[in-house]
Chains A and B, each alone.
Chain A
Amino acid sequence: MVSKEIVGLLLAGGQGSRLGILTTEMAKPAVPYGGKYRIIDFPLSNCINSGIDTVGVFTQYQPLELNAHIGIGKPWDLDRVNGGVTILSPYQKSGNSEWFKGTANAVFQNIHYIDKQNPEYVIILSGDHIYKMDYSKMLDAHKKKNADATISVFEIPLEEAFRFGIMNTEEDGKVYEFEEKPAKPKSNLASMGVYIFTWEVLRQYLIDDNNNKESDYDFGKNIIPNMLKDDKRLFAYSFEGYWKDVGTIQAYWESNMDLIERVPEFNLFEQDWKIYTVNPVMPANLIGPTGSSTHSIVAEGCMVYGSVKNSVIFPGVYIEEGARIEDSIVMSGSYICKNAYIKKSILCEKVRIEEGVNIGLGDDIVNELKPDIYNNGISVIGEKAIVPKDTVIGKNVVIDRDVTADDYENLQVASGATIAKGGTE
């Protein structure tokens, strides 16, 4: 077998709990984004566009959607005879069987997969970020510096540095210190969670880390600090461009809205760095005689007889006459009936909004049950939920998935309320 110079290792097992009901039944990397994509499409497309044709995807939390999406990797041209995409999930072993205990442990448990590819380098990626990056340039830098590890960093405002893992570097980019969420940051270089390692070096660190019962088995918390301790050659690699962690409802919403700008900073229309995904089998969208669409992106299969403004509409959404959608994200297969008004909300897949419903009106009161998740005025309607005729829904409201008309006590759902299947929790 031909050995690969570099193998991609994509950590896609995280829940992304701060995305609330978006991730109840799917892992964060599977969350729909930008009108037709899922978050994982970005690192996967970056891999193939960078010439990396062998990618292991680590899954653990709710992998069904993710597995179905990735399949054998056709959309990314990763259905290869030699290499391609491989889904790596926790498995039973003779002796002890366990879940992936951390990011480094996930890779450790699959050392045999990597050994089989026999690569010189591995690149560790996460399925949490929206960005376009040429990993081959980063690999060039790694080789040029003769590094053991290269960590991709993003310059952030210094006042926000306390929220990130910060790399303190010498002039030539050599990392001398890594601080996780420092109270007094010395630099503004935040780690993006994208690492290139020389495989031989990393392999030993993974084995040693696994033997340490005290470890968190995490790249950021253990492997990188251990390598620094041993004076290994770690270098920062500066990335410039659009890079967003879409880990919270607010960040997710904002990043989607970035796409509708006239010339977005993050442009999905660039032909030389396409983002691939499973394409829906649907006809082109139809804007009806009574329909309109401005400052928005609208995917295939949509039929728009109402008005769409400042919004991102996924495939197969039907918007009836008189319905108005503003500042919102509407996912695949949702149906919006006549004269409904939806403002600054996220509608998950196959939601049904009946006639005359209003969503996103009223005072900005944070969600009572989960104030740390729903606190930016955005209401979220879960998958396959129904909002019955003439219901008025406030801000920061959560309508859980599969909620039906019977679950509503009355037609007024105040800001900050939550409606769950079978009554309020």
Chain B
Amino acid sequence: MKTALGIIITGGNNLKLKELSAKRSVSAIAYGGRYRAIDFVLSNMINSGIKKVGVVTQYSYRSLMDHLGSGKEWDLDRKTGGLFLFPPYLSGEGSGWYKGSADGMYHNLSFLKRSKEEYVVIGTGNCIYKMDFKELIDRHEKSNADISVCCRDMSDIDAEEIKHFGMVQIDDNGRIYEMLEKPNNPKGTLASMGIYCLKRTLLMELLEESASKGLYDFVRDILIRKTSELHIKGCVFDGYWRSMSSVPMFYKTNMELLDPAIRKELFLDGGKIFTKVKDEAPAKYNDEANISNSIVADGCIIEGEVINSVLFRGVKVAKGVVIKDSIIMQNTEVMENAKLTNVILDKEVVISEGKELKGESTFPLVVGKRVII
């Protein structure tokens, strides 16, 4: 296999995620009872034989840093290669906050310069999917394209959401001839997944060139600008893929994991998904536990009724509680006889006795971190 290194762009904050992203990077958004979004791209890279990964981060990166640590959970605490974190830094020239994704990579150009890997796989940190990047690199190499962009038919995603994607048009040979960022009236449903593969040397040239012109964004200023100049190939992916870019998408994506087929695709087929694990005891179900169609992480103690819900680690559900169609994040406590329907509780929330909260299935009620109700 050709050698490749990985770069993960963790993105800015996202107002559409409201409280969920107020204190954390979108890549650190929780998923599936025990994961954070970035675990997927990172595990995909590891499972594809990538041994060196740079994470470009800027907005509220403390939670992300805390999650990634030395990278040991992903086997990335290496002497050769391993995990590199790139928060913004100050130095003599042109430094400070990253102005865009290309700028973020440009500021860490020495990482690329010092590497010897032939290819670079770039991904974003907020998407849930399982992909073999080895195959992507192979396809890229065979196609003789300059850049490969992973695309997917997004017709299984709400039209409103598609408006926030980068829409692409490809010709019969798979070449991208048009790419539009967040169009109001998207043509078709084929969108970029934010996953790119190209030669390391080409990436360095492109980054230097755009920096010299005062341009900062990888999609807008490189891919879209150079659509005709470069041979950009669309690599169509037909597996499960979700971007947790808004509260409804966060809710939908988490709930979809109740589908055993999706659980199988993400976790059982191919490589494992690694995450930082806290040492919790296995989930405990007491006598009154009445649980159905739900995901329950370790450290939970369940004494009430839980239906169609996702419970993160260390959640306590007391007697008489009814939780329906909800997502409850870590260490949240729901006291006796509380009733929750269509809600998202962030971590360490306390719902006191008998309280009732109800959201809409299309727009769940969100309760922020450490709120006591």
Instruction: Name A's B-contacting residues (CB within 8 A).
Output: 34-36, 74-75, 260, 262, 268-269, 274-277, 279, 281-300, 303, 308, 312-315
Contact = CB atoms under 8 A, between A and B. Distances in A.
A299 B287 contact: no
Contacts of B258: 286
A269 B299 contact: yes
A289 B293 contact: yes
Interface in B15-36: 32-35
26 contacts: A34-B281, A35-B281, A36-B281, A262-B286, A262-B287, A277-B279, A281-B273, A281-B275, A283-B35, A283-B267, A284-B33, A284-B283, A284-B311, A286-B258, A286-B294, A286-B296, A287-B292, A287-B293, A288-B260, A288-B293, A289-B293, A297-B283, A300-B34, A300-B298, A312-B282, A315-B282
A283 B32 contact: yes
B285 interface: yes
B291 interface: yes
Contacts of B311: 284
| Interface hub of B274, B282, B313 (most chain A Cβ within 10 A) | B282
Given A284-B34, A293-B285, 6 more contacts: A268-B282, A279-B279, A286-B263, A295-B286, A299-B282, A308-B285
A84 to B, nearest CB: 15
Contact of A297 (B32, B260, B285): B285
| Interface hub of A260, A279, A313 (most chain B Cβ within 10 A) | A279
A239 B38 CA distance: 46
Contacts of B155: none
User: What's the dominant secondary structure at chain B's contact region?
Assistant: loop
| Interface hub of A283, A284, A315 (most chain B Cβ within 10 A) | A284
B77 to A, nearest CB: 10
B281 A297 contact: yes
B283 A283 contact: no
B78 to A, nearest CB: 15
B285 A296 contact: yes
Contact of B296 (A277, A282, A285): A285
Interface in B345-366: none
A372 B289 CA distance: 38
Nearest to B281: A268
B286 A294 contact: yes
B301 interface: yes
Contacts of B72: 74
Contacts of B35: 283
Nearest to A301: B267
| Interface hub of B72, B287, B295, B312 (most chain A Cβ within 10 A) | B287
